[in-house]
Each structure stands twice: as structure tokens, then as C-alpha cells.
Chains A and B, each alone.
Chain A
Amino acid sequence: QVQLKESGPGLVQPSQTLSLTCTVSGFSLTSNSVHWVRQPPGKGLEWVGAIWSGGSTDYNSALKSRLSISRDTSKSQVFLKMNSLQTEDTAIYFCTRKLGLWGQGVMVTVSS
């Protein structure tokens, strides 16, 4: 079955680092790009970044200094790490294959 599933902590303290995992099944990471998109409560979609089939990455300009996306192709997993978290980073984080297939999303709340 072709799917993506996000996992990670629901609550992160301010200034700490967020680590999320996107586990995919039914397709290869070496043939498909995976994007991260986030959505603050009640707001629109924001592109966070992507890792391309060849392993290169692109990031949202405003988040670039705090963000890292990587992958483990043997485990079919894509990782997002974002440091220095602030309350404005509170959002649902989605991973998606080429924007065509989406995970269910994981809610991340930044709060002390």
C-alpha cells in the first residue's frame, strides 16, 4: 500500500529542537521527492522543504537557517529537524510525495 506516515513528539519546549520522521511505504525514496508542508492552526499551507530523489534538498527561505531534511533510504524514512523552535512553529506538519500523496499530518505544539 502506498502511503506516508508522520511521527514525532506532540509537544516541544521553546528553543528546543523538533525531530519528525516520515515513514513511507509502497514507493522508493530514490525515485520520488518527499516534501514537508506545515499548517498553523486555522491558517494556510506553508512549504517547509523537500528532499529530492537524488538526495539534494531545498528549504523555505525563512526557515533555512534552522532546518535540516535528510533520509535513510534503507528504512524508507525521511527526517525533519528544526532547531530554536518558537511558538510560531506550532502547526500540523505533513509529509507528501510530490504533493500528490499526503500523510495524515502530525500536530506539533511549541509550549513550555
Chain B
Amino acid sequence: DVVLTQTPPTLSATIGQSVSISCRSSQSLLHSNGNTYLHWLLQRPGQSPQLLIYLVSRLESGVPNRFSGSGSGTDFTLKISGVEAEDLGVYYCVQGTHAPYTFGAGTKLELK
């Protein structure tokens, strides 16, 4: 199975600060059909997860554009340009290129 390694495990930020989360895969996530099925989710405390970014860099409808995703192959990054209080929670990357799907262990974003 594909292993996704997220770093850092915990991120402390002030409001307005820009931060990045890394997700590295144990194998390339480029599918034979040309798509890369790497997505990012946010789980706020006590809530169900929410899709933020799909297919590496596509912003889910309704998600603020301070969130952006980039990367290719095995290395991917989620960037938040100007953290807001509502962004606090745990961020997960998830891959769907290779069955079975797998999640990263999560990155907890907290206020400094």
C-alpha cells in the first residue's frame, strides 16, 4: 500500500501567517490516465472532514482561495496564505491513485 508521510505533525501559527504542509508519497501518484489523485482535507474539532483541494491543486467549491495545493509525483504541498482562526484543525492528505486509498497521519494546525 502507498504510504503518505505528512510533515510537520504539528504546526503553530499566528493569525495572518502563511504556512505549508508537506505530503510525501512512497510511490508516484501519477495515474496512467494522466491525473494525480492527491487530495487535502481539513477536520475541525468535533466535525466531519471537509475537502479543500482535489487533484493536487483544484480548489473545492466554497473553499477560500487562501488555500492552495501544488506538487507532482511523490511530493505535494498545501499552503495557507494568511491563516485565519477558522483554519485551525487537522489537515490530511489522501491518495486515490493506487488502491487501496490511504491517508497521511495528519498535521494539527494550532494557534501560537
Binding site for B on A (CB under 8 A): 35, 37, 44-47, 49-50, 58-61, 94, 96, 99-100, 102-105
Contact = CB atoms under 8 A, between A and B. Distances in A.
Contacts of B105: 44
Contacts, number: 50
A105 B49 CA distance: 10
Nearest to B43: A45
Contacts of A59: 100
A47 B94 contact: yes
- Main DSSP-derived SS at the A contact region: strand
Contacts of B24: none
A60 B99 CA distance: 8
Contacts of A35: 101
A60 B100 contact: yes
Contact of A44 (B39, B92, B99): B92
Contact of B103 (A46, A49, A102, A103): A46
27 contacts: A35-B101, A37-B49, A44-B90, A44-B103, A44-B104, A44-B105, A45-B43, A45-B49, A45-B94, A45-B106, A47-B94, A47-B100, A50-B101, A58-B99, A59-B100, A60-B100, A61-B1, A94-B49, A99-B41, A99-B49, A99-B51, A99-B94, A99-B96, A100-B51, A102-B48, A104-B48, A105-B48
Given A47-B103, A99-B41, A102-B48, 16 more contacts: A37-B103, A45-B43, A45-B49, A45-B92, A45-B94, A45-B103, A47-B94, A47-B102, A58-B100, A59-B100, A96-B49, A99-B54, A99-B94, A102-B50, A103-B48, A105-B48
Nearest to A46: B103
